[in-house]
Amino acid sequence: MVLWLLLTAATLGTFQAFASTSPLAFSHSTTPVTRKRNLGLQPRRFQAQLEDQQTTHPRCNSKYLASILHTLNTTAAIENVTPVAANGSYGEGASDPPYPVNPTNLPPLCAVTIKVGQSAAANYRFGLFLPDDFSTTKRLLVVGNGGFAGGINWLDMAAGPHHHMAALSTDTGHNSTAIETSWANHHTEKKEFWGWRAMHGSVVLGKEIIRRYYEQPDNEKLWTYYSGCSTGGRQGLRELQEFPDSFDGALIGAPAWWTGRLNPFLMQVGLYNFPADDSNPYHIPLEKFSLLFTEVMRQCDGVDGVQDGIVSSPDKCEFDLGMLVCSQFTTNFSECLTIEQAETARKVYEGWLSEDGELLYPGLTLSSEVQWWVLLGGTEPSPFGLGYIRDFLLDDDGKEFDWTGLSTIGKDIVERAQRLDPGRSSATQYDISDFKDRGGKVILYHGLADGLVPEKGSWWYYNKTIDNFGGDLDGVRNFIRYFQIPGMGHCFSTPDCRPNAPWNIGGAFQPGLLGSGSWSVPGFEDAEHDGLMALMAWSEEGKAVDKLVATTWKKPTDSNSGVLRQRPICPWPEKAVYDGAGDVNEAESWECAMERVELVSEMQRRVEC
Ligand SMILES: *[C@@H]1O[C@H](CO)[C@@H](O)[C@H](O)[C@H]1NC(C)=O
Ligand SMILES: *[C@@H]1O[C@H](CO)[C@@H](O)[C@H](O)[C@H]1NC(C)=O
Ligand SMILES: *[C@@H]1O[C@H](CO)[C@@H](O)[C@H](O)[C@H]1NC(C)=O
Ligand SMILES: *[C@@H]1O[C@H](CO)[C@@H](O)[C@H](O)[C@H]1NC(C)=O
Ligand SMILES: *[C@@H]1O[C@H](CO)[C@@H](O)[C@H](O)[C@H]1NC(C)=O
Ligand SMILES: [Ca+2]
């Protein structure tokens, strides 16, 4: 409880929020929080401002944007139009609880907020950045949200104008931090907005507005790209599965794609470890996650062929939990697990099986332990599980659903979640032929040290997609590729700086973590290092993404501290393979290739003796 109260009290961003309040925190970003707010400008004042700023686009005013809306069959209304000069800043600051940091260092642009739906109880908003310097190849970047966040993600939108693209983000129809769910209780329409409708409606209307703003001819293409992580990953997959015309390419990170299965599982994971009192022998206290991590590192680091503090092949490691179990020879009981605690850890790794042994959702990957505090720390199951069950699934007032006596959430909840899929948010259509046939491309990526959304879930999704296309892996790789990022936590960075593995590929939330004025991968703004640029080259020029070079810095979230390591991440089933001679911290010493299994088994033997 204490942990979650702390989190709620803070002005939370995405999961970055967890970073700053946890005892096992990510290293802190020194980003200054810009408090400047740009609310609605009066027309007269606006005119004056326009005259002052000769560089501002002449169409960046409420009257012109209202005239655009007038030509469209929509009930949407202009909420705000603000011209932003070069090196300016824009956002809603503290009025946008999940995204309070306004991007700075922006190129000159027009910031627009549109409100769709007039009823106070049911409406959604979306924001647009319309850069003055729009590239000749017309492009739009749509960005996603995180957790249950309700707010426009202005910080991630900033990448758009830096690439001379327009940018769009929706608030998903409510106003809350990433961990609040009470807004959904008894509110079918808000659930649907969050589930898919706000995203879809914003994309459709946003494209029309952009076309008219730039007076684009109907036969000219507006290339549209998506970038999102976690819930953002889910939103992107959901949209491209059902509406194949929406995007030309999507950069999908750590997607929380199967809401109806994943969120109950996140509750179930909590039940493995709670209640957190001494009478529960199965409870692993927070301080022992580190012990587990250290043991995983000891047994699994070398299995990938290189003893470098990065577990790159967790699936190849035959981890023996027994090594950690207290015995008659134990002298220090802080350094071992009881048999019951080891059983809890085993279940967290194994994943969730039904009574008949069907896999309901895969568990957390070996090497994610440093981030286990998110789901298993504190004193009650996380809001991603408990909040979902109470407010999405049961519309419960909090009194009827009592988790404290439960060891498992039960078949009824699982079946209900499957049947109802509240908000219809699950992205479970594996047949994306229509998207593929239009030339659509997907880069899917997931950190192997993710302690919140299981990495094996993304891999499972990828496998299901391959199965859907008749097992044709090569065919599938022509339009969707899956990249595992060793050592990366949920969406970004390396939890607790351990092991400070290369993580940054310019994905969702990543630039913002390096500072409010940051975009792409600082110092490496090219298609080899930036996933969005790689995606655009793949979609527009057919350059398949054979690898991406991930970067980390001496201080993982301070790009001025000097590059520490760069290493390719590779499209599965390829792996980054070391050349055996070069500096392991240099990307050139690695290539994407099939893993050498002999080496793996040899290393495994070595570790075992
Ligand atoms: C305008 O939108 C409404 C509601 O979405 C729809 O019923 C109507 O047919 C549309 N009219 C035109 C001319 O597209
Ligand atoms: C951009 O603005 C910041 C303040 O927001 C200022 O410190 C910086 O010097 C400016 N840079 C340029 C190139 O004008
Ligand atoms: C969102 O809620 C906060 C209070 O938590 C409020 O200050 C802010 O004005 C609201 N923002 C919007 C856009 O309604
Ligand atoms: C027991 O182990 C813990 C954790 O490693 C350590 O902090 C503590 O100092 C150890 N106690 C003794 C008596 O060695
Ligand atoms: C995906 O499929 C491969 C075999 O093609 C298998 O080795 C791997 O375990 C599967 N991953 C998951 C998470 O199901
Ligand atoms: Ca290693």
Nearest CA to ligand 4 atom 14: 332
Q: Which ligand is nearest to the CA of 309?
A: 6
Tell me what percent of the chain is helix, strand and coil, each rounded to the nearest 5: 35, 15, 45
Q: Is the domain of 313 the same as that of 224?
A: no
252 and 269 assigned to the same domain: no
Question: 408, 424, 440 — which closes off a domain?
Answer: 424
What's the pLDDT score for residue 22? 34
Is the pLDDT at 476 greater than 80, yes or no? yes
Same domain, 247 and 327: no
Q: Is residue 490 part of a domain?
A: no
- Mean pLDDT of the 114-126 span: 91
Tell me if 8 CB under 6 Å of ligand 3: no
Quickly state the pLDDT bin for 2 (edges 50, 70, 90). very low
Is a pLDDT exceeding 50 seen at residue 515? yes
Does 331 contact ligand 4 (Cβ within 6 A)? no
**Enclosing domain of residue 139:** 32-257+429-483
Give this prediction's pTM.
Answer: 0.91
Note the pLDDT tens digit of each residue in 4-27.
333 332 323 333 433 333 332 323
212 and 77 fall within a common domain: yes
Return the number of other C-beta atoms located less than 10 Å from residue 401's C-beta.
15
The atom number, within ligand 4, closest to the CA of 291 reads 5
Q: Is the CB of 463 under 6 A from ligand 5?
A: yes
- Say if CB 462 and CB 480 are below 8 A apart: yes
Look at residue 21 in the predicted model and tell me its pLDDT.
33
Residue with tokens 């991440």: 569
Whether 509 maps to a domain, the answer reads: no
Q: What CATH number did the domain enclosing 234 receive?
A: 3.40.50
Which ligand does the CA of 290 lie closest to? 4
Answer whether residue 446 shows pLDDT above 90.
yes
Query: Which protein residue has the closest C-alpha to ligand 2 atom 2?
Result: 87
- The 10s digit of each residue's pLDDT in 362-410 is 999 999 999 999 999 999 999 999 999 999 999 998 678 899 989 899 8
Q: Are residues 231 and 172 in the same domain?
A: yes
**Among the listed residues 284, 410, 413, 275, the one whose alpha carbon sits nearest the alpha carbon of residue 347:** 284
Does a structural domain hold residue 159?
A: yes
State whether 191 and 72 are in the same domain: yes
CB 102 near ligand 2, within 6 Å: no
Quote the ligand 3 centre to 93 CA distance (angstroms). 10
Do β-strands 109-116 and 124-131 pair in parallel, antiparallel, or remain unpaired?
A: antiparallel
Task: Please indicate, yes or no, whether residues 45 and 183 belong to a single structural domain of this protein.
Answer: yes
Is residue 201 over pLDDT 70?
yes
Looking at residue 400, its pLDDT comes to 83
Place of tokens 């999507």: 250
- Asked if residue 446 is part of any domain, the answer here is yes
- Do 147 and 227 sit in the same domain of this protein? yes
Q: What's the angle, vertex CA 355, arms to CA 352 and CA 360, rounded to 5?
A: 30
Q: Is the pLDDT of residue 77 over 70?
A: yes
Q: Cα(455) to centroid of ligand 4, in Å?
A: 32
Overall domain count for the chain: 2
pLDDT digits (tens, 9 = 90+) for 153-180: 999 999 999 999 999 999 999 999 999 9
In this prediction, residue 507 carries a pLDDT of: 98
CB of 95 closer than 6 angstroms to any ligand 3 atom = yes
Residue 371 shares a structural domain with residue 458: no
Residue 202 has pLDDT above 90, yes or no: yes
Of all protein residues, the one whose alpha carbon is nearest to atom 6 of ligand 5 is: 463
Q: Give, for ligand 4, the residue of 291, 334, 336, 337 to mutate: max count of ligand atoms closer than 8 Å to Cβ.
A: 334
Q: Are residues 410 and 444 in the same domain?
A: no
In a domain, 402, yes or no: yes
Whose CA is closest to 511, among 251, 124, 217? 251
Whether 459 lines ligand 5, by a CB cut-off of 6 Å, is yes
462, 483, 504 — which closes off a domain? 483
For residue 602, tell me if it sits in a domain. Answer: no
Say if 368 falls within a structural domain.
yes
Q: How many CA atoms lie within 13 A of 168 on its CB side?
A: 28
Mutate to test the pocket of ligand 2, among 34, 36, 84, 87 (most ligand atoms within 8 A of CB): 87
Same structural domain for residues 87 and 190? yes
267 and 248 both lie in a single domain: no
554 found inside a domain: no
Cα(145)–Cα(602) distance, integer angstroms = 43
The reply to whether ligand 4 has any atom less than 6 angstroms from the CB of 332 is: yes
